[in-house]
Each structure stands twice: as C-alpha cells, then as structure tokens.
Amino acid sequence: MREKLIAVVLAAGKGSRFGGSKPKTFLKLYGKPVFWYSVQAFSQADAVDEIYLVVSEEMGQVALRMKSKYFKDIKKFKKIIIGGKERMDSVYNALCEIENSSENAYVALHDAARPFIKKELIEEIFKKAIETGGASCGIPVVDTIKIVEDNGKIASHLKRSDLTAIQTPQIFNIKDLVTAYKKTKEENLFFTDDTEVFSLIGKDVFIVKGDKDLIKITYKEDLKTAKEILKRNGVPVAYHVLKGM
C-alpha cells in the first residue's frame, strides 16, 4: 500500500508585520486569494490525497464563503479547520483532525503566505520524507548572519556556507509528528518551526533544494514581488483581469 499524503495549508496568521484590516493570505492576487495558489498546487500533485485549510476563528465564515467560490472544482479539498492563537496551536488542531489516518500517512505543513509552491517540489520533498521520516526544502543563505546581544554587540560569527533558509512545505510521518507535538504540550514548549518540534523525539529532518520563487509574503512590498513572479511564471488564463488585486 502506498504512503498517503495529507496537505495542511496554514492561513490562520494575523500578519501583524504586513498590516491592514484583512489577513494577507486572504488578499487577492489576480482575482484569487493568496491561499488559493497553495491549495491549487497541492491539488495538482499526484501524491497528495487530501487537502485542509487552517484559518483563524475570526475568518472562519469568510473562508467558508471563499471555499464555495474558489474550491468547488478541487476534489481533494476536504475541510476548513479553525486554528489557534499561535502557529503551533493551528498545527496541533490540524493534527487532531487527521491523526487517525493510515499508518503510512504523512502530512505536508505549508504556510499559505508562500503561494508559489510547485507540484514537482512537493513530490521531491515527499519522496525524501518517505525515506527519512521528515523532510523540508530550503535555500542557501545569501546574507552574512550574526548573533547579536541585546546591547548590539556581535556575540557570534556564523559561517554562511553552513546556513540554510528553511521554506515550506515540511513533510513528516503523521504518527511521529503527533508524538512530538504532544511532547510540546506536556512540557509547555514553544517553537515557530515544525522541524524543531520533530527533533524533540530524536528524529532527523533532511533538506532538499528549495525554490527562490517560494517567497513568504510578509510585508506589503512583497505583494509586488509576488505579482512579478506570477507574471514571469504565467498567470492562469482565467485570471488575467487585475480586478481585486
């Protein structure tokens, strides 16, 4: 029996650094909400069996309306899940929903603010996760990184060639990730990245080469970059009208 892959697209963040009255993942890019691009990419990947979208409680009703409008032709889409206060809480809520999947099940956790995931990269990460139990994608760090103390003094000089900027999706064996997340609850631990959570139970995570186009929309100026990426890679024909951008 082949391994099952469940995709969880995380769109529950408030995007405080982005600003505005609406979460950034609900904004429009060529007539489609930002989170749609991730859901669509996962739907096109042959390895993906099911897709879930995690949103905040405040955006739950909005998400349901958008689901009816934008996801009606995406057969793999299963459900909208209400997230929690922090990213970890949102992931945990999703895991509670899907943890009873088959023994061979894996979960792909993906930030909706990274809309340009390609199906080929999803397949590559999944293949590595099957081999190792956990995998992510990442790209080499371009900037020189320093560890700096509160007073502004450089505390440590990091070797750039040893550093990788982690992206998503990150794919893990579901049973193992659930075990790791239960440990965070028991020990009241806080993390912002799931590879760290996975390491709590002594599991290694392996990196495959990521994609420079897989940017994370964090600030308003990132929307301009996102539009440029879409133009370069080809905007879906049905959405060339710029209304709602």
E-state strands within the chain:
4-11, 28-29, 32-33, 48-55, 77-82, 105-111, 134-140, 146-148, 154-157, 164-166, 170-173, 206-209
Q: Where are the alpha helices (DSSP H) in 72-173?
A: 87-98, 119-132
Prediction pTM value? 0.91
Residue 31 pLDDT greater than 90, yes or no: no
Q: Above pLDDT 90, what percent of the chain?
A: 80
pLDDT at 18: 64
**Per-residue pLDDT, 230:** 87
Q: Tell me the C-alpha to C-alpha distance, in Å, between residue 223 and each of 157, 230, 241, 245.
A: 32, 10, 17, 9
pLDDT in tens, 158-208: 999 999 999 999 999 999 999 999 999 999 999 999 999 999 999 999 999
* Banded pLDDT at 235 (limits 50, 70, 90): low
Lowest mean pLDDT across 35-39, 192-196, 218-222: 218-222
Task: Please list, in sequence order, all residues whose beta carbon lies within 8 angstroms of the beta carbon of residue 111, skipping any fewer than 6 positions away.
Answer: 10, 168, 216
Closest CA to 169 of 141, 203, 140, 207: 207
Q: What are phi and psi of 41, to 5 degrees?
A: -65, -45
Q: How many CB atoms lie within 10 A of CB 19?
A: 9
Q: Is the dihedral of CA 192, 194, 196, 200 positive or negative?
A: positive
Rounded CA-CA distance 45/13 in Å is: 25
* Rounded CA separation 171/132 (Å): 10
pLDDT in tens, 75-87: 999 999 999 999 9
Q: What is the pLDDT of residues 92-141, one digit of tens each?
A: 999 999 988 767 899 999 999 999 999 999 999 999 999 999 999 999 99
